[in-house]
Structure 1
Amino acid sequence: MASSPSVLLLQASAPLLLLWLCGDAVVADMAEQEQSCVRWDEPEGVDDRGLSQDGDVVIGGLFVVHNQPPSPDLSFTRKPVLKPCFGFQKEPYRWAQTMVFAVDEINRSPHLLPGVRLGYQILDNCSRYPWSVRAAMSLISGGNHSCESTGPVRVIVGDASSTQTIMLSRILSPLQVPLISYQASCACLSNRLEFPNVFRTIPSDVYQAWTMAHLAEHYGWTWVGAVVVNNDYGLLAVQAFRERAQGSGICLAFFETFDRETLAQDMERIATTVQTSSARVVLVFAWYTDVGALLLELASRNVTGRQFLASEAWSTSSYLLNDPALRTITSGVLGVAIRSAPIPGLEAHLRKLHPSQHPRDALLRDLWREEFGCEPVSASSPDSLSLPPCSGTESLEGVQSTFTDTAYLRVTYNVYLAVYAAAHAFHSLLECSPVGDSGMNRSQPCSSQYNISAAEVLQHLGQVNFTTQIEENFFFQGGDIPAVYDLVNWQATPGGVLKYSTVGRVEGSKLHMEESAIWWATGSQVPVSVCSEPCPPGTRKARRKGEPICCFDCLPCADGEISNKTDSLTCLRCPLEFWSNDQKNMCVPLMVEFLSFTDAMGITLTTVAVSGAVMTAAVAVVFVYNRHTPIVKANNSELSFMLLMSLKLCFLCSLLFMGQPTDWSCRIQQAAFGISFVLSISCILVKTIVVLVVFQSARPGSDSVMKWFGPGQQRGSVLLFTCVQVVICAVWLSITPPQPHRNVGLKGSKIILECTLGSVEGFATLLGYIGLLAAICFMLAFLARKLPDNFNEAKFITFSMLIFCAVWITFVPAYVSSPGKYAIAVEIFAILSSSFGLLLCIFAPKCFIILIQPHKNTKKFLMGKTEKT
């Protein structure tokens, strides 16, 4: 594959950089020839802060022992130079000593690199690019603080920072110098095309970002703040968090970055954001000293109740745990930590260190100043005027310090693994193989060709595979190792001191937690961090315009719709014949409703109908008992009895409309109603005609009229009028008869059992025929209302028809607009009302005379011939 222009440029410029550092030295023969090293940059002790040991093969190391750069010289009166950094850190110095310990351990091993003495050259890089670049170029060129070469290193253990590792990779990649980082966790470094020379013993940030996103999703933290350092480590970690949280409804309430150069101003701004934000969970990716500045600012403002999610860079920091000013704000911190493992013998190595045994170790003297507050005096270090001189009896043997604390070795173990990975690559490259047939712990000495190239080391690093001291198989997947983390929780001890406890483990994308062991920032209750409270079942989420997706309103589901889970985006329509309950969280079967005999309305209508039938029967009994009296005879007793029978049928047919509809009940009820009423109206119509005919026959020359309308003709007329309705009903029921129907659209919460009309035209014809007969009867009765007689039945027929027509005219709109069983009730009410109207108007006056005024029930009274007194 062709190289890109930038790669070609770096390949061309790398030798010039090496010549710049080492004068006229020949780069190709650095490991074997003496060189004359010239200080080109007047480093003023930059390279003096390091550790070195010559060997057949040399490993380089870069550690952030000092993390604060000096203020730049802006006078522009002299050439700018790199000055030593300040801000000594004990833990990174322990990492550097771990590399020394691992090299010594390998040199003593008869199995790993037998016959080869491993050397090291360790420099402080200040975690800034000028110092890192200079230190890396010094390592690969073979220079050191005394200009006495230890030979160029073929692999560098470092850098700690992701940004520095990216930068060094781009510089050293053309030279194929491998980097084994112990703390650069940026996900971008997994790209082998861009960073082919980067290996690391720390997992990618993708996994800890995914772990934090999983925690947020698991505990329902949808409103999370993020504070990150403004470099690849912080920015790409938040990017990985966002990618993992996408689709989970998790939003960033705020996203704040800071630079170490403007740390104080940035922390004031970030603290204000954290203080004013409604987010109660804050994700922090930063170095522990930077986090300390933020936490101190928050503590000074008395900002509590924030649940911090810590990255591995500060989740186990003793510096923060031991600061009493931070205890109120950091209790409950939940963080991802690099997994820990023991290193036997390391604590003894650390405790026996003494400046008198390592007079050229400037870093050890800095440690002595930190631990004992005195200046170690040696031949190579002038007396310090700022601190009193040490007595020489000071020892680390009884000191409890973060430097000597080896209880939980995390980054320290990563450094240890990095050195062993490099040693195994050298072992494979130098063709060292075990010998002996008796299981003796001896190995064949390695090849004496120690002038190996960095490219060869790079190739063999990718094939490293060995078993660690804790019986784990170590290998690189590309340039990464399988992700394994501890989940730690900061908890207060009974003495008030903060300690972290392991409450879970992360293996790849799998998270195992002991939730009961977690102590939260809010106490024993899991903190709540949401922009909007979760929408309970029965509601749906409605996004607020212009706001993140986790800011929403909860709208109740409409009738007939449900949501049965929290934070539902939509409401689901209930299936047919189901309806939503009052809480709108489940569909329940619809109640079946019909006009029953047992409900209040049914009982009332039944009582009225039965009462009407009983009253009709009572009138019939009265008429039968008094059938020989003049008033009964005078009113055409045969038609009266026929009318009473039809009215009784009208009252009783209303009962057919009640009860659960069936095929037969739906067909019979309308036919019975139509025929019964036509029979009643026919009887009244014939009675009206009889009245008119009687008075017409009383006129001279009209004797022949009555003989053509005798009892036979009257019965025939009633039969004829009724048969017409029978034909209408027969045609209707044979073509499109009424059917029982389950009406689910009329009233949402119930299924209405009702009878369909089948044919509206058929029902309209039935009613229309009844109305036609009633109208004719009304007109004839109205014409006969003033006929001379003491008892003129036409007047009462007129009133009855008036009531009948009024009832059925108002019935039509009331029936159409009434839902469900109320439409049936309206029809029953119309039947009963019109039946009572006919019964009372026609028969009540006769019964009144028969029962109350029997003296009027005489032929003489009816003929109007009362005696004069």
Structure 2
Amino acid sequence: MQLSDKARFPSFIRTIPSDKKQVDGIVLLLLKFNWRWIALLGTDDDYSQDGIKALNEQTREHGICVAYENTIPQGSSAVGHMLRNIVYLNVKVVVVFATGQPVTDLMRQAIASNVGDIVWVASEAWSLSQSIPKMPGISSVGTILGMAVKGMALSGFDQFIQSTRNSWNGSFQKKSSAFLGATSNQGSCNQHCPQCSEIPASAVQDFDSTFSFSVYSAVYAVAQALHRVLKCDKKICKRSEPVVPHQILQKMKEENFTLNGRTISFDKNGDPPPQYEIVFWDTTSQPVSFKTVGSYASDSGDSGTQFVVREEDIKWHASGQIPVALGSKDCIPGFKKTPYGIHTCCFNCEPCTAGTFVNQSDPYNCQPCPEDEWSDDESAFCQKRTLEYLDYDDHFSIGLLVCAGLMCTVSVAVAIVFAVHHDTPMVKSAGGKMCFFMLGCLGVSCLSISCFFGVPTTWKCILRNPVFAVLFTACLCCLSVRTFQVICVFKIAAKMPKVYEFWVKKNGQWMFVTAAVGLQIFMCGLWVGIEGPHPFNDTQAVKGQIIYDCGMGNMFAFTAVIAFVGLLSVLCFAFSYFGKDLPKDYNEAKYVTYSLLVFFFTWVAYLTAYVVYSGKYIPLINAISVLASLASILVGYFIPKCYVILFKPEYNTTAHFQTCIQNYTKTISSK
């Protein structure tokens, strides 16, 4: 790999692929079979150390864990100890990026140690070794796969080698000369080899022609470059001046020609396009044979990376199944990986909580579901939520709307009765013109009940509680004023005449109502201005649902508005209590107490439900509390008076009221 560094080796060009490309092919092979728990073994040389370093970088990028890494030691005991460590770590795939005798020692010790079902991935330096397959017991070490530079047969070259082998009986020169003479007649060069007699028989016998084409193409590339520099044609060269090396180097960098059907070219680092074969050692045959079971090629053109493995051609050792090398067992869907130790392949499986899911693209984190989706515990995906709100066609909604309509009708009916009998003592004692103001507030509040149903909008949210708060405040003010006015007539006028005179002359009742209602309107306006009621999606209340409802907005402002209504209720209750001993027709303590208790209980129930319960029926409870509060005043204050007006007219006379006053005066005087 260092030879590709043009800063150090600017004039180096080769016809054998860079080992970096071989590393790419090995990583693709590991990923093909999902082997993510491996060991890396090498030797103490640049070829191996550079390859191991590149493998570490590549495996880290692709989530492959190197469980064990070492340089093959010397000595059978040290090698045996290393193999025991590999077995102890449950490593099933061992990449051996090494050369020379250490690989032979490793495989010999693997046979002796009976390491079992291991996949050995061989680098091209020993993937086509001639000596290792001849070891006795090599079939017991497991499955051996390797990367090999794609070779190409040279016409006549194997015949030349065979002729050399067959002539190794002392008559080498004679037979080889005869062979060369025969081939020279066919147009080839006279390859006289006086040094061939010095080559030992074993070297010829173990000759490997894998790189023959690479040597041939290298010579041809130089010849092509020289041919272009000298401007030669088929017969003569036109250039006569001397040729310097850099001229040939420049031409070689630019070369792109076809030789025996293969393209010869070089990239910016002086490396050719990688072309590898994936070989499988078939140890079931004798002798062991090398079978091509795949290929790997890469270039910068349109074809890109081509990686093919024919799994059916591989005979896996022992079980016949592809070995599993994953470190920790993969998590089931819905569980995330939580690494422990230094390896990402060692992890615990932890369930994803509700509202989250684990995606295949990121198995280490539980991702939150989008706002409009949900999930159970241990989910691998999210589901769409259903949108829920209290619609008009709901049975409860229909029931409340009917009740609101009836109450509105009753309010109008009461107003008509009071209008017809407006000069009677009963109407005057109830408040006179102020009664019509109260009935108007009750009627409008009943109409606002419709805002609690259907799809929430900003205006619907504002017209719910703020409108009720203002109108109900007006009703409570009128009740308080009416009760206070009766107390003034019977208890304060005699003792504090100037106070009573001021109250009557300055129209104190309307001043109080206007001031209190104005203050409530101001607080409601402040509430809406700061952060008023508004539509919102509640995705936390109910699993699998989006509750579409109105939020209260600023809770401090909401609390202040309700507290003011509560304060007026307490004031009204206090006035009615002080007037409990007034004449019967002027004594409203019982009816006012009933109305206020209903108001208190319903709103305490609503606020409790609002805090502890979440769901689409919260607006229903709110509407019930509003309707019950309005009904308490209508039924507790106005209906009894209508009953007297319509069915007990004898009690609705001036004489009857005067009699009640006289009886009260006598009672007070006698005490």
Contact 1:201 1:480 (8 Å CA) reproduced: yes
Q: Which moved more, 1:464-473 or 1:821-830?
A: 464-473
Contact 2:39 2:68 (8 Å CA) reproduced: yes
Determine the structure 1 residue equivalent to 2:126: 314
Give the 3 Å change call, closer, same or farther, for CA 476–652 of structure 1 in structure 2.
Answer: closer
Give the 3 Å change call, closer, same or farther, for CA 649–494 of structure 1 in structure 2.
Answer: farther
Q: Does 1:785 align with 2:574?
A: no
Displacement after TM superposition at 1:227 (Å): 1.7
Alignment of 1:86-101 (within 5 A): none
The partner residue of 1:334 within 129, 134, 145 is 145
Give the 3 Å change call, closer, same or farther, for CA 288–232 of structure 1 in structure 2.
Answer: closer
Between the two proteins, what is the percent identity of the paired residues?
A: 25
1:514 counterpart SS class: strand
Equivalent residue letter for 2:453: M
Equivalent residue letter for 2:275: V
The partner residue of 1:470 within 232, 249, 260 is 260
Cα distance per residue 1:4-44 (max 9 Å; x no partner): xxxxxxxxxxxxxxxxxxxxxxxxxxxxxxxxxxxxxxxxx
Cα distance per residue 1:70-119 (max 9 Å; x no partner): xxxxxxxxxxxxxxxxxxxxxxxxxxxxxxxxxxxxxxxxxxxxxxxxxx
Alpha-carbon distance in 2 for matches of 1:655, 1:669? 9
Contact 1:336 1:488 (8 Å CA) reproduced: yes
Structure 1 gap ranges (5+):
1-186, 361-395, 438-442, 444-455
Contact 1:754 1:821 (8 Å CA) reproduced: no
Alpha-carbon distance in 1 for matches of 2:258, 2:427? 126
Give the 3 Å change call, closer, same or farther, for CA 826–359 of structure 1 in structure 2.
Answer: same
Contact 2:37 2:325 (8 Å CA) reproduced: yes
Alpha-carbon distance in 2 for matches of 1:625, 1:348? 130
Q: Which moved more, 1:676-685 or 1:632-641?
A: 632-641
Give the 3 Å change call, closer, same or farther, for CA 634–403 of structure 1 in structure 2.
Answer: same
Q: Does 1:215 align with 2:29?
A: yes
Displacement after TM superposition at 1:696 (Å): 5.7
Cα distance per residue 1:234-278 (max 9 Å; x no partner): 22221232244453333321112224x52x223312321221223
Contact 1:746 1:820 (8 Å CA) reproduced: no
Determine the structure 2 residue equivalent to 1:487: 278
2:623 counterpart SS class: helix
Contact 1:635 1:793 (8 Å CA) reproduced: no
Displacement after TM superposition at 1:812 (Å): 6.6
Give the 3 Å change call, closer, same or farther, for CA 334–625 of structure 1 in structure 2.
Answer: same
Alignment of 1:117-128 (within 5 A): none
Contact 1:675 1:725 (8 Å CA) reproduced: no
Q: Which moved more, 1:335-344 or 1:613-622?
A: 613-622
Equivalent residue letter for 2:279: V
Alpha-carbon distance in 2 for matches of 1:700, 1:193? 115
The partner residue of 1:831 within 605, 608, 626 is 626
Determine the structure 2 residue equivalent to 1:279: 91
Structure 2 gap ranges (5+):
174-200, 238-243, 664-671
Contact 2:95 2:120 (8 Å CA) reproduced: yes
* TM-score normalized with structure 1 length: 0.53
Cα distance per residue 1:346-377 (max 9 Å; x no partner): 246426625432599xxxxxxxxxxxxxxxxx
Give the 3 Å change call, closer, same or farther, for CA 496–831 of structure 1 in structure 2.
Answer: farther
Alignment of 1:119-518 (within 5 A): 187-189=1-3, 202-217=16-31, 220-259=34-73, 261-262=74-75, 264-287=76-99, 291=103, 293-295=105-107, 297-298=109-110, 303-317=115-129, 319-321=131-133, 325-327=137-139, 329-331=141-143, 333-345=144-156, 346-347=158-159, 349-350=161-162, 353-357=166-170, 409-414=209-214, 470=260, 472=262, 483-490=274-281, 499-507=290-298, 511-517=305-311
Alpha-carbon distance in 1 for matches of 2:31, 2:519? 72
Cα distance per residue 1:196-218 (max 9 Å; x no partner): 99986643323212321343356
Bigger Rg, which one? 1
Equivalent residue letter for 2:89: S
Contact 1:339 1:484 (8 Å CA) reproduced: yes
Q: Which moved more, 1:293-302 or 1:460-469?
A: 460-469
Give the 3 Å change call, closer, same or farther, for CA 813–728 of structure 1 in structure 2.
Answer: farther
Alpha-carbon distance in 1 for matches of 2:348, 2:12? 48
Determine the structure 2 residue equivalent to 1:40: none
Give the 3 Å change call, closer, same or farther, for CA 656–483 of structure 1 in structure 2.
Answer: closer
Equivalent residue letter for 1:274: I
Alpha-carbon distance in 2 for matches of 1:683, 1:610? 27
Alpha-carbon distance in 1 for matches of 2:321, 2:130? 26
Displacement after TM superposition at 1:570 (Å): 6.3
Alpha-carbon distance in 2 for matches of 1:723, 1:653? 22
Displacement after TM superposition at 1:225 (Å): 0.9
Determine the structure 1 residue equivalent to 2:460: 665
Give aligned pairs, total: 603
Displacement after TM superposition at 1:677 (Å): 1.4
The partner residue of 1:674 within 454, 462, 469 is 469
Alpha-carbon distance in 1 for matches of 2:5, 2:155? 35
Give the 3 Å change call, closer, same or farther, for CA 702–327 of structure 1 in structure 2.
Answer: closer
Equivalent residue letter for 1:278: N
1:653 counterpart SS class: helix
Alpha-carbon distance in 2 for matches of 1:435, 1:619? 118
Alpha-carbon distance in 1 for matches of 2:330, 2:621? 48
CA root-mean-square deviation: 6.1
Determine the structure 2 residue equivalent to 1:181: none
2:260 counterpart SS class: coil
Displacement after TM superposition at 1:434 (Å): 9.2
2:455 counterpart SS class: coil
Contact 1:543 1:553 (8 Å CA) reproduced: yes
Cα distance per residue 1:161-209 (max 9 Å; x no partner): xxxxxxxxxxxxxxxxxxxxxxxxxx34556887899986643323212
Alpha-carbon distance in 1 for matches of 2:349, 2:211? 47
Alpha-carbon distance in 2 for matches of 1:656, 1:197? 85
Give the 3 Å change call, closer, same or farther, for CA 236–662 of structure 1 in structure 2.
Answer: closer
Alpha-carbon distance in 2 for matches of 1:514, 1:727? 84
Equivalent residue letter for 1:804: F
Give the 3 Å change call, closer, same or farther, for CA 506–830 of structure 1 in structure 2.
Answer: same
Equivalent residue letter for 2:45: N
Displacement after TM superposition at 1:659 (Å): 3.0
Equivalent residue letter for 1:530: L
Give the 3 Å change call, closer, same or farther, for CA 508–281 of structure 1 in structure 2.
Answer: farther
Displacement after TM superposition at 1:779 (Å): 1.0
Q: Which moved more, 1:730-739 or 1:208-217?
A: 730-739
Give the 3 Å change call, closer, same or farther, for CA 857–606 of structure 1 in structure 2.
Answer: farther
Contact 1:744 1:752 (8 Å CA) reproduced: yes
Contact 1:462 1:479 (8 Å CA) reproduced: no
Give the 3 Å change call, closer, same or farther, for CA 637–496 of structure 1 in structure 2.
Answer: farther
